[in-house]
Structure 1
Amino acid sequence: MKTPEKPTRERIVEAASKLFYGEGIRAVSVDAVAEKAGLTKRTLYYHFQSKDELIAAYLDGRDQPNLQLFQRWFRDADGEVYDKVRAIFANLATAARQPKWKGCGFLRTAAELADMPGHPAVKAGIAHKQRVEAWLRKEFFEAGAADAKSLARQVVLLLDGGFAVVLLNRDPSYMESAGDAATTLVRAALPMR
């Protein structure tokens, strides 16, 4: 039995995602995305009015899967909340050891669009980072942290700093070091048991 073909819009976003993540948004043309999706440029523009709209769709498509992956790593880790936070960093370090790893797609896109703060993709990146922070804040609040808001912000800074330094140095141990720092912060912020 033949597998049904994916909807055209989904095929376009999937092709764009692979290319944008692998090569960067400015390096990839709309022609290249259309070719990878097996479509004409005209068909692509029927579904997306501009490359900017396609870039935003690429990041929107990464939002929930990335957040859910963090949540799964956290949930599946044994131990206290700080052990679960460390697991996120440990899993990111493992991912960074893969040859195709290119860092955080949200941060890389924001860097490429640094001169365009109102760009839809930058807004998508901001929204994603805010969702990660809100989720951590909720977890820390439920664990009894006195200032869950500040703690979540500090852990997000360590995550994003880890992404940046690992990408620069190509050394995943920096993500593990960021995880050590996050563990220390979270442990200190929680009530003694």
Structure 2
Amino acid sequence: MPRTSVDTRDRIVKAANALFYRFGIRAVSVDAIAHKAGVTKKSLYYHFKSKDDLVAAYLVSRDQPNLIQFRRWFEEADGTASDRIGSIFRNIAMAAGSRKWKGCGFLRTASELIDTPGHPAVKAASNHKRKLEQWLTDAIREHGVEEAPRIARQVVLLLDGAFSAMLVHYDTAYIECAGEAAATLVQSATKSV
């Protein structure tokens, strides 16, 4: 069966995803991505006008799967909003125990591009974090949390801070501790029934 342009583009993004997440965006060359994807550099540039566009596509490809995963962890947990928020942090702790875990790809990429705030990948990272915060706002509001936008923002700050601390210390106790703080925060803002 002949390959389509969409298949080729998807293979390039998958290759970029694997390499960028593992090694970082500055450490990975376009040649390495083309090789991993099994395409020529010319073919890669047919689909992406620059490495910057490919880096943005890498983050966009991670956006929905990550949001779906957070939503699934929240919805599959039993109990209150506080219990469900705690479940997100516990599941991250389990994922972070794997040698393949390299932290939050959005934060790592944005930190590599700190000197280029208008970069398309920085915008993609910002968009993802905004969507995560909005989803959290809606999810906890449905479970009776007062001031849901403020609480959701605080939970995102705890998540991102724990991601950073885990990368520095290689210790999942930081996400577990942040999860306890997030659960307490959500519990204290939940309306009594």
TM-score (norm 2): 0.96
1:1-193 correspondence runs (5 A): 7-193=7-193
Following superposition, the deviation at residue 146 of structure 1 comes to 2.1
TM-score (norm 1): 0.96
Following superposition, the deviation at residue 157 of structure 1 comes to 0.2
CA RMSD, aligned part only?
Answer: 1.4
Number of equivalenced pairs:
192
Following superposition, the deviation at residue 139 of structure 1 comes to 1.4
- Alpha-carbon distance in 2 for matches of 1:86, 1:136: 13
Following superposition, the deviation at residue 192 of structure 1 comes to 1.7
- Alpha-carbon distance in 2 for matches of 1:87, 1:110: 26
After the TM superposition, which segments of 4 or more aligned residues of structure 1 sit over 3 Å from their partners? none
- Alpha-carbon distance in 2 for matches of 1:50, 1:162: 33
Post-superposition Cα deviations, 1:14-62, rounded to whole Å, max 9, x if no partner, equal 0000000000000000000000000110000000000000000000000
Contact 2:166 2:174 (8 Å CA) reproduced = yes
Unaligned runs of 5+ in 2: none
Post-superposition Cα deviations, 1:50-97, rounded to whole Å, max 9, x if no partner, equal 000000000000000000000000000111111000000000000000
Identity %: 58
Following superposition, the deviation at residue 173 of structure 1 comes to 1.2
- Alpha-carbon distance in 2 for matches of 1:167, 1:35: 29
